[in-house]
Structure 1
Amino acid sequence: MTLGLNLIAYQGTLPAFASQPAAALPGHAVVGRVSLGRNAWLGAGAVIRADGHFVRIGDDLHMGRGATIHIAHEVYPTLVGARVSIGADAVVHACTVGNDVVVERGSVILDGAKVGDGAVVEAGSIVYPRSTLEPGMLYAGRPAKLLRALGLHEVQSRAELQRARNEACDVRWTCQPIPTGAAPDSFVAGTCDLSGSVHLAEGASVWFGCRLDGREGPISIGRLCNVQDNSVLRAGSLGMSLGDQTTVGHNVQLVDCSVGSRCLVGIGSSIAPGTRIDDDTFVAGGSVTEPGQHLTGGRVWGGDPARPIGEMNEAKRTAISNIAIVYESYARALHASVLG
Structure 2
Amino acid sequence: MKHSDKSGIQLAYRGVWPKIDSRAFIAQNATVIGDVEIGAESGVWYGCVIRGDVNEIRIGERTNIQDLTMIHCAELGQGTYLGNDITIGHSAVLHACNIEDDAFIGIQACVMDDCIVERGAMVAAGALLTPGKIVPAGEVWAGSPAKKLRDINDQDLAFFDINRRRYVRLANEYREEQYGSN
The two structures have a TM-score, normalised by structure 2, of 0.86
Q: What CA distance in whole angstroms lies between the structure 1 residues aligned with 2:137 and 2:179?
A: 40
Task: Figure out how many residues of one structure are paired with residues of the other and give that number.
Answer: 166
Tell me whether 1:186 sits opposite 2:24 in the alignment.
Answer: yes
Say which of 74, 84, 89 aligns to 1:236: 74
Task: Give the aligned residue type for 1:291.
Answer: P
Compare CA radii of gyration and give the structure with the larger one: 1
Structure 2 CA distance for aligned equivalents of residues 177 and 224 of structure 1: 20
2:9 corresponds in structure 1 to 176
Cα distance in structure 2, aligned partners of 1:277 and 1:285: 14
2:110 is aligned to 270
> How far 1:274 moved relative to its partner?
1.5
- Confirm whether residue 315 of structure 1 aligns to residue 155 of structure 2: yes
Q: Which runs of 5+ in 1 are unaligned?
A: 1-174
Written as runs of structure 1 = structure 2, the 5 A alignment for 1:23-62 is none
Does 2:86 align with 1:253? no
1:217–1:235 Cα contact (<8 Å) kept: yes
Letter in 1 for 2:167: Y
The answer to whether the 8 Å contact 1:177/1:189 transfers is no
3-state DSSP of counterpart to 1:262: coil
The corresponding residue for 1:302 is: 142
Is 1:204 matched with 2:6?
Answer: no
Equivalent residues in 2 for 1:56-205, closer than 5 Å:
176-177=9-10, 180-205=18-43
d(CA) in 2 for partners of 1:336 and 1:264? 26
Tell me the CA shift for residue 193 of structure 1.
1.2
Distance (whole Å) between structure 1 residues aligned to residue 143 and residue 110 of structure 2: 11
Counterparts of 2:179 and 2:64, CA distance in 1? 21
Task: Give the residue type in structure 2 aligned to 1:338.
Answer: Q
Corresponding residue for 1:98? none
The 3-state SS of whatever aligns with 1:251 is coil
1:184, distance to aligned residue in structure 2 (A): 2.0
Normalising by structure 1, we get a TM-score of 0.47
Q: CA RMSD in A?
A: 1.5
Moved over 6 A (4+): none
1:177: Cα distance to partner? 4.3
